[in-house]
Chain A
């Protein structure tokens, strides 16, 4: 069975600081991995995805994530946080690009001025 663990339900950073949101996965088959962002009262928006091509994946809004098979991790980073990055972030795994997604519990990112 597949699963996702996001370390830290809440992360707070200062504006301009590095953002690091952690995600570890468990999968019996090569995984497809995703990061989604959810702004208040909105649906989920895809930030980036890993589909077995390059291990460093670049997404929208300056975010990127690195797939590390040896660590079963897919951490999300952004070099410099912006106030508009404040939202909830979800890591997800699926057995295929179009298969059902198994989500982590989410990490709420706060950005302090």
Chain B
């Protein structure tokens, strides 16, 4: 199955700061999802990236897919307390093997 490694594991930032979360795959990426999870709650779909070089934005959150590096990055500009939560990357195709997998998540705390 596909392994997705996220870094950093946790992040504490001051409100207003920019931050980046990375997701690296052990296998070729054919598509990647980003989700946000409030602590103890369900996952909320943020965006999906399907093509190398593709970049998508959702409010102040931007994600980009680098297929060559088998990596995606999620960037938050001018962070707010409402951005706090756990960010998970997920992928559902890896060289023909269809097992939806997720990274371990990055825990984000934003101090006002």
Q: Do A and B come from the same complex? A: no
